[in-house]
Amino acid sequence: MKLIDTHAHLDAIPDLEGALNRARDAGVRAVVGVGTDRASNEKILRAADRFPEIVLPAVGLHPWRLDGADLEASIDFIEKEIPRCAALGEVGLDFALETPREKQEETLRRLLAVASREKKPVLLHARRAWAEALEILKTAAVERAIFHWYSGPPGVLREIFARGYLISATPAASYSARHRQALLATPLSHLVLETDAPEVYEGKPSEPRDLLKSLQAVGELKHKPPEEVALQSWQNSAIFFRLPEA
């Protein structure tokens, strides 16, 4: 099986070389390293230079990092570096934060304008803001987007599919009721796999090899063999990121 971890915070994994070697042994052929601010973006780019055979870089500005960030410098950096990247990300909206919605939305619009201009796909964080994030994506004319770890309402999910966007499954697919509900409603043609490493699942930090847990959970939910899920998610990911294998 060939697998792609479409979303991992490689800058936060202590033993990155070891983690990537373990991922390879598990069948993971590529890992998309996402950035959340200037410092993590720089680390992701260095990881891609160090491990070009497996790391695909993405640069972004997470809504959690907006407060205290130099917005102009952050966007300038992303504009400069995104041509060498596989995607813009992680970006998005999080209305559970105290950060004003208007500030989040304006920042996202500016970031999506960069992605649209450079024809890059978007790795989107949305929490309590699914419909609003989707509307901004539509207005920005973004052609390719993944709603990472989607756990939102079914109505928005249907609109996501209508736009041709995807959602991703994490290891939480084995126990999170809302995430499982969304995945059950998602055809394999609109699904990719991720770990969000080193996110903690059931008390244990994850790494890219834990993509096998995402795969297993989706297979069990869909009553499909893991080989079928792996093949479809690989094809979806390769097309999304415009990899040579597509």
Residues 113-139 have a mean pLDDT of 98
| 3-240: in CATH 3.20.20.140 | yes
Predicted structure pTM score: 0.97
**pLDDT band of 244, cuts 50, 70, 90:** confident
What is the DSSP-derived secondary structure letter of residue 176? -
Alpha-carbon gap, residue 18 to 35, rounded angstroms: 20
For CA atoms 135, 40, 97, 167, the dihedral sign is positive
Q: Please give the pLDDT value at position 142.
A: 97
> What was the pLDDT predicted at 245?
64
Q: How large is the C-alpha radius of gyration of the chain?
A: 16
Tokens 């099986």 appear where?
1
pLDDT of residue 183: 98
Q: What mean pLDDT value characterizes the chain?
A: 97
Percentage of the chain with pLDDT > 70? 99
- Indicate the domain borders of the chain: 3-240
Is omega for the bond preceding 90 within 30 degrees of 0, making it cis? yes
Residues linked to residue 3 through DSSP beta bridges, in sequence order: 28
* pLDDT for the residue numbered 239: 97
> Average pLDDT in the 167-180 region?
98
